[in-house]
Amino acid sequence: MATGLIFSETFLYHNSNPLIPHYENSDRLIACMNLLQKSKYYSLLRKPEIKDISSDLIKQIHSEDHLQKIENSKGKRGYFDSDTPFTEKSWISAFKAASSGLTMVDALLEGKIKNGFSLLRPPGHHAERDRIMGFCILNNIAVATKYLQIKGFKKVFILDWDVHHGNGTQEIFYEDPSVFYLSIHQFPFYPMTGLSTEIGEGIGIGTTKNIPLQANTENFKYIEIFKNSVVPTIEKFNPEVILISAGFDAHKKDPLGGMKITTEGFEKLTRIVLECAKHVCQGRVLSFLEGGYDIPSLSESVEAHVAVLNSFS
């Protein structure tokens, strides 16, 4: 089988105005695509056309008010919050990014791919049910999870290794015992959530796990935690599919993050998760880009990540 790669020119529409410089800009994806296209496995990747998402599906994750804010941004420039600007066509990028997951899930169910990576923007894991924040408009991985549930998946594991805590994804599934949310992130750090005491609520207690780490954590520590804590947690939950919120802003060269993972480190972390997925969920792993703001390190890390996905497909 194959590895899926989702990319769309529409992802470049968001914040395309050079008068509004921003770390989260379209050059990030262009650099990743340039590098992927040079890889020897690029022609082997399946590249499904992104489907259109129904507003009914998005409404199962986000509030009417949230969608209205996006509706009101059409054709305009402004800010959703202090660090989340929008331009005239940002809403198109946001909806297409949120459609990536369902496109990937359909390809998985049709047997066309075994795993996949969505090279998308804007990222999603800070977007809460009713709040646009932290560069994130719609919660892409949450929409994908909801779609998997609609398609009959009973247990979904979300692993979030972005340097920031995915407050939005955690909030959305905090009381859902069928979705395990595990985040490993720098703390104290934006958005200041993700303490180890945050473990879920109600019937969801025990299916949220936070691993806050001090700044300057290096590869070996991440690898140790992945082997001794992340993998056993996945094995115990025994999901049918693993989703990754793959941010690469814990890279040592990232201008926003304060961690010390290298490109080789991300390659190793990907391999650990794929080895685990092989015996837990028949290798089903769908990964979604989140952060990563040093463009050379981001593109190299994304290429290393996709190369491992491809080697397991």
Residues annotated as catalytic are 126
Q: Which stretch binds Zn ion (CB under 5 A): 53-61, 114-122, 148-156, 161-169?
A: 161-169
Residues 45 to 64 in contact with Zn ion, rule: CB under 5 A: none
| SS3 category, 46 | strand
Residues 178 to 217 in contact with Zn ion, rule: CB under 5 A: none
The DSSP letter of residue 227 is I
Half-sphere exposure in the Cβ direction for 21 (13 Å, CA): 1
Identity of the residue, 6 or 133, whose beta carbon is nearer to Zn ion in the bound complex: 133
Dist CA 143 CA 151 (whole Å)? 12
Number of residues engaging Zn ion in binding (CB under 5 A): 5
Identity of the residue, 249 or 294, whose beta carbon is nearer to Zn ion in the bound complex: 249
Query: Pick from 2, 291, 305, 313: which binds Zn ion (CB under 5 A)?
Result: 291
Minimum CB distance to Zn ion, residue 217 (Å): 15
- For 91-155, where are the E strands, in sequence order? 113-118
Task: Give 269-307 as a DSSP string.
Answer: HHHHHHHHHHHHSTT-EEEEE----SHHHHHHHHHHHHH
Q: Which stretch binds Zn ion (CB under 5 A): 85-93, 159-167, 275-283, 302-310?
A: 159-167
Minimum CB distance to Zn ion, residue 102 (Å): 23
Residue whose C-beta lies closest to Zn ion: 291
Which tokens sit at 166? Answer: 């995915």
Please tell me whether residue 176 binds Zn ion under the rule CB under 5 A: no
Identity of the residue, 124 or 239, whose beta carbon is nearer to Zn ion in the bound complex: 124
Minimum CB distance to Zn ion, residue 256 (Å): 7
Residues 214 to 273 in contact with Zn ion, rule: CB under 5 A: 247, 249
Query: Pick from 24, 128, 160, 162: which binds Zn ion (CB under 5 A)?
Result: 162
Dist CA 164 CA 90 (whole Å)? 23
Q: Which stretch binds Zn ion (CB under 5 A): 6-14, 83-91, 191-199, 290-298?
A: 290-298
Dist CA 268 CA 117 (whole Å)? 17
Decide: 302 and 287 in contact? Cβ < 8 Å: no
| CA distances from residue 254 to 92, 169, 295 in whole angstroms, order as listed | 28, 23, 9
Binding site for Zn ion (CB under 5 A): 162, 164, 247, 249, 291
